[in-house]
Structure 1
Amino acid sequence: MLLDQLHVASPTVAHPKSIISPFARAGDGSLISAGAIVNIGADIGRHCIINTGAVVEHDCKLANYVHIAPNATLTGSVTVGECGFVGAGAVVLPGVKIGINVIVGAGAVVTKDVPDGHVVTGVPARIRTVQ
């Protein structure tokens, strides 16, 4: 990304109504919205968005450029790869690994790892073919 090449630091912004553990980390240029919760040991990469009411539980690891949509929940020890998107109201269960460039559809419940570049939707979430 252009900012990476220029080595320009961007401020991290957290809404005063968000709840962030003092033992969590958020990278440069990330945004944590109102009502979001980021718990102990969470590690959020650069230029991520944790949207309104989203929950990033303990020991989750988010790579750079990840977007967690409103009211989505990443339960403990979830990993999300670079440029991942977790849709509104989706739930990712403990220990699941979401690959690079993955889209998790709104309301999905992800129970298993998702390989790079896939789209998953449904309850339980299944890989969908995109045409």
Structure 2
Amino acid sequence: MGENCSINQQVTIGYNGKNAPVIGNNVTITVGAIVIGDVHISDCAFIGAGTVVKHDVEIGDIVAGVPAVSIKDKVKK
């Protein structure tokens, strides 16, 4: 896990066999999210509440849902 990460309550970060997630810097993982297996969460990513992440997340991406999908283009700026 990188620096300046924010992990909310009831988050599960687990491995699948011997493969564990790699979490970059400045990542936010919100309440109830699940990050499992051989995935890489890149720097500045945001994982929405209750999201199940089973694939890599790009730099600065915002993902939500089961399974996780990018919603970065749908979020108002």
Per the TM superposition, whether the score is higher than 0.5 is yes
TM-score (norm 2): 0.80
Aligned to 2:70: 120
Of 28, 47, 62, which aligns to 1:103? 62
Residues 49 and 129 from structure 1, CA distance in 2 versus in 1: closer, same or farther, beyond 3 angstroms?
closer
TM-score (norm 1): 0.49
Could you report, residue by residue, the CA deviation over 1:63-86 in whole angstroms, capped at 9, with x for unpaired residues? 100000000000111211100000
Aligned mates of 2:35, 2:43 — CA distance in 1: 15
- Give the length in aligned residue pairs: 72
- The question of whether the paired residues in 2 share the 8 Å contact of 1:73 and 1:92 is answered with yes
Of 23, 28, 32, which aligns to 1:62? 23
Identity of aligned residues (%): 32
Aligned to 1:80: 41
Could you report, residue by residue, the CA deviation over 1:4-53 in whole angstroms, capped at 9, with x for unpaired residues? xxxxxxxxxxxxxxxxxxxxxxxxxxxxxxxxxxxxxxxx1101011100
Kindly report the root-mean-square deviation, in angstroms, between the aligned alpha carbons of the 2 structures.
Answer: 2.0
Displacement of 1:130: 5.5
Gaps of 5+ in 1: 1-43, 111-118, 122-126
Moved over 4 A (4+): 127-131
**Higher alpha-carbon Rg:** 1
- The question of whether the paired residues in 2 share the 8 Å contact of 1:108 and 1:120 is answered with no
Aligned mates of 1:88, 1:130 — CA distance in 2: 15
